[in-house]
Structure 1
Amino acid sequence: MKYAASVLAVAGLLAPATALTVDFNSPDSIKAACKTIITQLMTYYNGNQPGMTPGILPGPPPNGDYYWWEGGALWGTLVDYWHFTQDTTYNNLTEASIQFQAGPPQNCFMPANWTASLGNDDQGFWGLSALLAAETNFQNPPDNQPQWLELAQAVWNTQAAPDRHDDTCGGGLRWQIPLTNNGYDYKNSIANGIFFNTGARLARYTGNDTYAKVATDTWNWVTGVGLMTPTFDIYDGAHVEHNCTDMYKQQFSYNAAVYLQGAAFMYNYTNGSTVWKERVLGLTKRTIENFFPNGTAVEMACELPTHIQCTTDMLSFKGYLHRWMAATTKVAPIVHDTIMAVLKTSAASAATACDSSGVCGFRWTTGGYDGMTGAGQQMNALAALSSLLVDEPYVKPPLTNKTGATSKGNPAAGLDTTGVPDGPLAPITTGDKAGASILTLLMLSGLVAACAWLSSDFSESGRWNALS
């Protein structure tokens, strides 16, 4: 994610306004509040209007506000909204939007229009939304369109390719995909975290151990290179020209949450193994310590006591924190009570940051609406409130091929256009690398080279300078 934004300051709260009313003991009241918030959220979306591009929020900067990836995050938020509330109002729009942005080429969320700012994390966010649709039995597309599981597999396959995992820093994904994009020399936690998270979830969904082995390899690289410390602090990233020793130690909530959710899926997939249990417990403890001071979510890297210096991207991170922590409780019940206690407190604080019309601010610790509005802020509040419904009887744990999931997969998705029957990949040995079982992954390197000439107009320094 990237956005060269100017520093945002908050001098104080606006004039008092009537706050959003929510009875947190009533699921119906929570649903009503969510509907009010999502109505305001969708005012930021114009992709369904004549002449506009389906699936994306207005952008990219400097003429718009949002990069391509945040559209993918929007639709994942709406899939969760449907899953938690059972409101189908936006389902057709969500399906059409994800499908439109899936491709070409090869339906792996690498549209040519976004090459100049295309990162592994950006592609991965769209893949996560497709995977969530598969896990929740969200309405399936027509048979002549790519299916949810297939789309997630396509993203994973392209990211598992040898040309994405080079030898610099001993492995790992780079931030950017085209080699001339600013940020191509940077390996970061979110790109590798989404890849780890996706692999863990595909392993559980399909029962294929290839995904789990690669996810474990990714975890080992992240911890080995120092992006994650033994105490479960997760740093942002480092540069390959310094062999990833110049660690940028800012911590962001979505990094913690994406690894926590992935670890929870690995815990579930391994039937509660001790090693993944310890990781889930450790990540839960440290995530709460770092990002929930006094029980309310705070984006610690940029949400300072005296002012806000968050970029547009960062203004949306608290929503993913709530969503992915809530999902963790469904596959790792050992942390359910701990997580839900803090999510309930945080959601109550989030509601105070919204006015009665459902317009929500960013800072949740002031007891009022701060006037900092945007799509990210709306997604944050929607995620915080809707996630409180995770324990409702109709909200099932993420589904798998064995527990009623209906989305069809394609293990060769993203590799060619012929397709293969849905089923497990060939077994691999312990020493095999990420893509060794499917050598045709190499063909993707031609695609990367073809678009490498395009470079980003927005350097990563814009993101870092906003934090300095």
Structure 2
Amino acid sequence: MKAGHWVIGLCAAPLVRAALDADATSADSLKTAAKSVAYNLMTYYKGNESGMTPGILPGPPPDGDYYWWEGGALWGTMVDYWLYTNDTTYVNLTEGSLVFQAGDDANYMPANWTASLGNDDQGFWGMSAMLAAEAAFQNPPDSDPQYLALAQAVFNTQAARWDTEECNGGLRWQIFVANNGYNYKNSIAQAIFFNIGSRLARYTGNATYADWAEKAFDWTKSVGYIDDSYNVYDGGHTDENCTDINKAQFSYTAAALIQGCGFMYNYTNGSSVWADHLTNLVNRTLDVFFPDGIAVEVACELDSTVQCTADMLSYKGYLHRWLAMTTKMAPFISTTLMPVLETSAKGALTACNTDGTCGFRWTTGSYDGDTGAGQQMNALGAIMSLLITLEDVTDPVTAVKGGTSTGNPDAGSGSSSSSSSSDDIATRKITTGDRAGAGILTALVLVGMSGIFLWMSLGD
């Protein structure tokens, strides 16, 4: 993910407009509301227009508000939209976009973006491909990359980057050595790698994925990015042996870890270890990000101002979606999660106009006029978290139970793109060629007791 220049935005004054009409206890009513919100979300997508690039939202700045990774987030949201509503309006577009951005090597490292690519960016696309496999989403033609193989390719390329030379493990934020942020190991990169590994373990039954997932989680906790109270912090620098921990907290990082723990709990048939990690993460996440029962992006959504970048404006949607799916993998946590998600989703509905245009703040009881693709994904994710119980959404499929996506365990490891019976996971070390490229990325700065939240560009 990327950050902008000195973003200090004032919260828009509340606008007095009628809220989106939806009955939170009626699946049909929620589906109607979701359809309106999804329609408005897709108005931000221009990739099907002449001269535009398929699969991505307009950007990156200054050409538009959005970075490459958020396209991956969009299509994951739309896979879930189909899964929860059975609305096929965007199915072909979603399928085509997930394939188009896969790149020549079918590993979500397309040539246009590799010079500024982070492990978290690549991983977001991998998570969406994994979701498509788990949802038994419409498969691409046989001649195109398949969802499961795409997720495996992302996982394998990242396993090859696991770095024990600095901080005794972990993934770097940035993939290429020339990028600002290469010397930073952040929690979201670890969380996404853990998340994909846990889901591949459950889908394929291959214990190697579970071993890697456990390694990633244990390292993240051992280095202090997850503290003893299960706060999840942003990361640290390799120059300081990852001990200079930036204690900013973001909801999507905690949510990615929670969902991964849910999948590990399911894969291990109810391991008490994963039950404990899951319970502790959920309890702390609800305390931090749902202070009054409604989701708040606490690092940038302050009482008097919203200081969020375009990236951060989308995190609450992933929070809702991933926590909701966790209840399918670990039903015991439903009684803790669902009442909070329901209260928060009702808050999200009040932040939307009757036409399905949604604002950012959910705590004010009204539409705030702060709009964008992220805000629409947030509201859509919140609505879908209500549908997970009302519609009795099926559990994610596996290779032996309902799965239709073709995998390739060697995907991304330099082997043939055809299917293989090998269970090996790539462990190739980073080469000089891997370290080519450059990009201007950013670091997070929290400033002062005033609560002002700033993003400082280090490379321009």
TM-score (norm 1): 0.93
Which whole-Å CA distance do the structure 1 matches of 2:227 and 2:421 have between them?
Answer: 37
Q: Which amino acid aligns with 1:459?
A: T
Question: 1:322–1:383: 8 Å Cα contact kept in structure 2?
Answer: yes
Which whole-Å CA distance do the structure 1 matches of 2:412 and 2:433 have between them?
Answer: 11
Is 1:198 aligned with 2:184? no
Which whole-Å CA distance do the structure 1 matches of 2:18 and 2:29 have between them?
Answer: 17
Choose which of 410, 413, 420 in structure 2 pairs with 1:412.
410
Is 1:49 aligned with 2:49? yes
Which whole-Å CA distance do the structure 2 matches of 1:414 and 1:445 have between them?
Answer: 15
Is 1:146 aligned with 2:145? yes
Q: Which amino acid aligns with 1:120?
A: N
Shift of 1:115: 2.1
Choose which of 326, 332, 348 in structure 2 pairs with 1:350.
348
Q: Which amino acid aligns with 2:454?
A: A
Matched position secondary structure for 2:113 = helix
Tell me which residue corresponds to 2:123.
124
Which whole-Å CA distance do the structure 2 matches of 1:346 and 1:461 have between them?
Answer: 27
Distance 1:417 1:149, change over 3 A: same
Matched position secondary structure for 1:238 = strand
Matched position secondary structure for 2:185 = strand
Distance 1:346 1:109, change over 3 A: same
Question: 2:12–2:369: 8 Å Cα contact kept in structure 1?
Answer: no
Is 1:173 aligned with 2:171? yes
Which whole-Å CA distance do the structure 1 matches of 2:412 and 2:346 have between them?
Answer: 42
Q: Which amino acid aligns with 1:172?
A: G
Question: 1:130–1:152: 8 Å Cα contact kept in structure 2?
Answer: yes
Matches within 5 A, 1:305-384: 305-384=303-382
Shift of 1:212: 0.3
Tell me which residue corresponds to 1:255.
253
Matched position secondary structure for 1:44 = coil
Question: 2:26–2:390: 8 Å Cα contact kept in structure 1?
Answer: no
Shift of 1:462: 8.1
Question: 2:444–2:455: 8 Å Cα contact kept in structure 1?
Answer: no
Matched position secondary structure for 1:347 = helix
Tell me which residue corresponds to 1:86.
86
Residue deviations 1:212-233 (CA, integer Å, cap 9, x gap): 0111111111011100012110
Matched position secondary structure for 2:37 = helix
Shift of 1:17: 1.1
Which whole-Å CA distance do the structure 2 matches of 1:367 and 1:175 have between them?
Answer: 37
Which whole-Å CA distance do the structure 1 matches of 2:422 and 2:335 have between them?
Answer: 35
Matched position secondary structure for 1:466 = strand
Distance 1:95 1:11, change over 3 A: closer
Tell me which residue corresponds to 1:455.
438
Residue deviations 1:46-84 (CA, integer Å, cap 9, x gap): 000111000000000123100000000000000000000
Matches within 5 A, 1:52-67: 52-67=52-67
Distance 1:417 1:446, change over 3 A: farther
Q: Which amino acid aligns with 1:216?
A: E
Shift of 1:393: 4.9
Distance 1:167 1:409, change over 3 A: same
Shift of 1:166: 3.9
Tell me which residue corresponds to 1:8.
9
Tell me which residue corresponds to 1:108.
107
Residue deviations 1:97-147 (CA, integer Å, cap 9, x gap): 11000011x100001211232100000000000000000100011111111
Which whole-Å CA distance do the structure 1 matches of 2:444 and 2:218 have between them?
Answer: 28
Q: Which amino acid aligns with 1:384?
A: A
Q: Which amino acid aligns with 1:134?
A: A
Which whole-Å CA distance do the structure 2 matches of 1:419 and 1:315 have between them?
Answer: 36
Choose which of 439, 450, 454 in structure 2 pairs with 1:466.
454
Q: Which amino acid aligns with 1:32?
A: T
Matches within 5 A, 1:287-302: 287-302=285-300
Matched position secondary structure for 1:460 = strand
The unaligned stretches of length 5 or more in structure 1 are: 427-434
Q: Which amino acid aligns with 2:32?
A: A
Residue deviations 1:351-376 (CA, integer Å, cap 9, x gap): 10001111110000001011110100
Tell me which residue corresponds to 1:274.
272
Matched position secondary structure for 2:167 = helix
Q: Which amino acid aligns with 1:445?
A: T
Which whole-Å CA distance do the structure 2 matches of 1:393 and 1:65 have between them?
Answer: 34
Shift of 1:338: 1.4
Shift of 1:423: 4.3
Matches within 5 A, 1:150-165: 150-161=149-160, 163-165=161-163
CA RMSD, 1 decimal: 1.7
Which whole-Å CA distance do the structure 1 matches of 2:114 and 2:98 have between them?
Answer: 17
The unaligned stretches of length 5 or more in structure 2 are: 448-452
Tell me which residue corresponds to 2:393.
395
Which whole-Å CA distance do the structure 2 matches of 1:361 and 1:300 have between them?
Answer: 16
Which whole-Å CA distance do the structure 1 matches of 2:300 and 2:212 have between them?
Answer: 33
Distance 1:457 1:446, change over 3 A: closer
Question: 2:170–2:185: 8 Å Cα contact kept in structure 1?
Answer: yes
Question: 2:84–2:391: 8 Å Cα contact kept in structure 1?
Answer: no
Residue deviations 1:315-372 (CA, integer Å, cap 9, x gap): 0000000010011000000101211111110000001000111111000000101111
The ranges of structure 1 where at least 4 consecutive aligned residues each deviate by more than 3 angstroms after the TM superposition are 419-424, 444-447, 461-465
Amino-acid identity (%): 57
Shift of 1:403: 1.2
Matched position secondary structure for 2:11 = coil
Question: 1:208–1:424: 8 Å Cα contact kept in structure 2?
Answer: no
Which whole-Å CA distance do the structure 1 matches of 2:130 and 2:141 have between them?
Answer: 17
Question: 2:259–2:325: 8 Å Cα contact kept in structure 1?
Answer: yes
TM-score (norm 2): 0.95
Residue deviations 1:2-40 (CA, integer Å, cap 9, x gap): 1214211115212x1121100111100000000001111
Question: 2:91–2:138: 8 Å Cα contact kept in structure 1?
Answer: yes
Q: Which amino acid aligns with 1:277?
A: A
Tell me which residue corresponds to 1:21.
21
Shift of 1:394: 5.5
Question: 2:445–2:455: 8 Å Cα contact kept in structure 1?
Answer: no
Distance 1:82 1:322, change over 3 A: same
Is 1:445 aligned with 2:431? yes
Shift of 1:191: 0.4
Shift of 1:424: 5.9
Number of corresponding residues:
450
Q: Which amino acid aligns with 2:439?
A: S
Question: 1:4–1:463: 8 Å Cα contact kept in structure 2?
Answer: no
**More helix as a share of residues:** 1
Q: Which amino acid aligns with 2:97?
A: S
